A and B are shown apart, each in its own frame.
Chain A
């Protein structure tokens, strides 16, 4: 936020109304004065900013910072308040972090693209600094000195050389009458006390005793439970179902059709609503739905990949075209010409999709939105005929903790379904997807094909490479791409490698299989194919894969530094035993660079991942412990996709349903030794939620090749079979 855009008149009005509460860019709705304050929106004070969080300093000394960004495990509940607290000059143990509701007054609350710290780092620092400045000025006026003679520390303003102090809570009333500075001075990085230091997450105490509130835990009075039987194939129309049989199950209250929208396609299922979830599930078993879905039965993974491999033989849309790859390939002394392939995946958040909605008879609504995009007020208001300017007053949206998201929760189909049920019954309803619904209904991560070619000259030097990626795109599922490459599909392909002839193309495939943002999205699939192939090229050129990358990435000093650090931290050049293998990969995605080195060992008749060493350059980081945690998590999520389940389709339906046939990596299969090293620099903050994922699968298969000589080009694979 630019403090200069705070409208002073309204700022004072708010401050006046709230007595001794200092309010910057917020209203204090959540603090017991709803009657006076709830109509004041953050937009009344601040314009042109992406998010307006808020700070409240009460006369009793309580310093509250609102957590407005949905927390799904990434530590943002702590991270954004920490950024504000740094510039506000308060210690984290002086701050109470309060989870906000969903509201436009906080600006955009949707999360994805590893974006939160990246987009909020500067605005939140400015917010904190502007707040501190008015407190300093208030103290200066009280002492009759210039502001330059005052400084703030740990919630106190100090008068230089005098030993005198004034506490923030004793300054808020007068500070509220002081003009907010247009350009507050930000602290230099060397003075940071919170940013860059590991701080304990304040949401964790409730996550070890069962008290953290997830969406699935919402329990309003009179709650009914719903489950929905949806078409087993990707789509289909209901011909008939046995409502009476389902209604006959004890505890079942209602049976009704419900429609879900996935990228413009309407899918209607049958909901069973009951006094408890068990009864709803029993009723669902009695529905005996007959579907008209013959036309969708043709969809299969086999036809999907056969079609895409055919498409990979044709010219695609050009993303990078340096030199003339076709000429270099045609005249090459030696060649590589291989195809990489990756399947669809399910997000499989541990908390299955769910939603709780209460549409009341008086046309007010309460929503529990376990969502990465929770601001549903306007959408629900349109459905209910509520004028847009009354949407926030009449529709209250709770932001529960999210039991994982990974992109899946950026689609609000469960809220859409639950809203329809509650709106019909005018009762509070909790919709829970079974794990089978969650696994098989999608939307999924894309399945991809990568046609990879390389040319070598007489001396064995690589003269050119081509990466032709074929896939559906996420953003063109319900529209045409008009011959343009959709923005998301080239993530994670390193265009900086120095090859004389370098061609990167995209071939767009259309399918009825719905796909959606899945942790690191195309970074996960592109990073695998590209970095595994770079390794093939390096080995064929008889180069060490790490030195080869360093040589070919000279134009990117940050990437070279990451590789040098990895070389050192992993002791890369150390000769391994006969039963050991190593592999590495480096991918830049979502504003950060991550390189992993994977070490394998033959042990007890199998192969184990003995160690993963990671180097992360995410620029300035807020909480190093959480940057490491995200990287550890990305390693596991990526290894799961590389080594465990795949979603495959046959006769129009996903063949997997639950964790018994769609496996997750477990503790006994996870690397025991994971070391994450963070680069220390002054670059702008990069993302952390996703960039650790793309390089893990290629580092793994490169290690397999190093250990066995065998190249894995299709995921998933069985590490015990190599």
Chain B
């Protein structure tokens, strides 16, 4: 066991864990932020996606020891009031069904739009192909990303 200092959503946390413990379980069960989900444990489904220094990563496959001292953002840190353009767009198109994968979908989409505010369909395919949605909301996710992209560019004019 070792002590790790984590910065999650601009809040400092200190946790005690085995070095190889996946960051996912530390975020969920030690820190208590349960919006980040367990889906596969092998970085195949994207349900556990968080931002590490602004990049979308699969928290199930990053040991806590590698995340110490880095800037982490989870779904809870995207906004206090669902005001992030991606969250807004997700609600506009009523994207979620069961909703379980959507934290990860939204975090992947937010990271995409941060780097590429005007993604093409091909860009969306590439950035979002790591996130499985078993309810099959892909059609609406694509629409929501375009909606968010439009709102971001209109807002910045």
Contacts and interface: CB of A to CB of B under 8 A. Distances in A.
Interface of A: 71-75, 200-201, 203-214, 216-217, 219, 225, 250-251, 276-279, 282, 348-352, 401-406, 432, 434-435, 625-626, 629-630, 632-637, 640, 658-660, 664-668, 670-672, 674
A291 to B, nearest CB: 23
B114 interface: no
Nearest to A214: B100
A643 B98 CA distance: 23
Most buried by B among A206, A402, A404: A404
Contacts of A406: 134
A271 to B, nearest CB: 18
Contact of B91 (A204, A278, A402, A404): A204
B75 to A, nearest CB: 4
Most B CB within 10 A of own CB, among A213, A348, A668: A668
A664 B37 CA distance: 18
Closest 5 pairs between A and B when the two form their complex, measured CB to CB: A210-B35, A636-B136, A403-B100, A207-B99, A73-B98
Contacts of A403: 37, 98-101
A633 B100 contact: no
13 contacts: A205-B91, A208-B99, A210-B33, A216-B34, A219-B34, A351-B37, A351-B98, A432-B38, A637-B135, A658-B42, A659-B42, A667-B131, A668-B129
Contacts, number: 194
B139 A209 contact: no
B83 to A, nearest CB: 10
Given A208-B87, A352-B38, A279 B18 contact: yes
Contacts of B95: 204, 208
User: Which residue, of A351, A402, A432, has the highest number of chain B Cβ atoms within 10 A?
Assistant: A351
A71 B106 CA distance: 21
A632 B134 CA distance: 11
Contacts of A225: 29
A204 B135 CA distance: 14
Contacts of B102: 207-208
Contacts of A633: 97, 135-137
Contacts of A630: 97
Given A403-B37, A435-B41, A659-B42, A200 B136 contact: no
Contacts of A348: 134
Contact of B140 (A278, A632, A634): A632
B149 interface: no
Contacts of A75: 97
Contact of B82 (A209, A219, A279, A637): A209
B41 A73 contact: no
A633 B106 CA distance: 18
Contacts of B75: 208-210
B3 to A, nearest CB: 15
B140 A350 contact: no
A214 B103 CA distance: 13
B91 A209 contact: no
Interface string B47-81: 10000000000000000000000000011101100
B27 to A, nearest CB: 10
A491 to B, nearest CB: 21
A209 B105 CA distance: 11
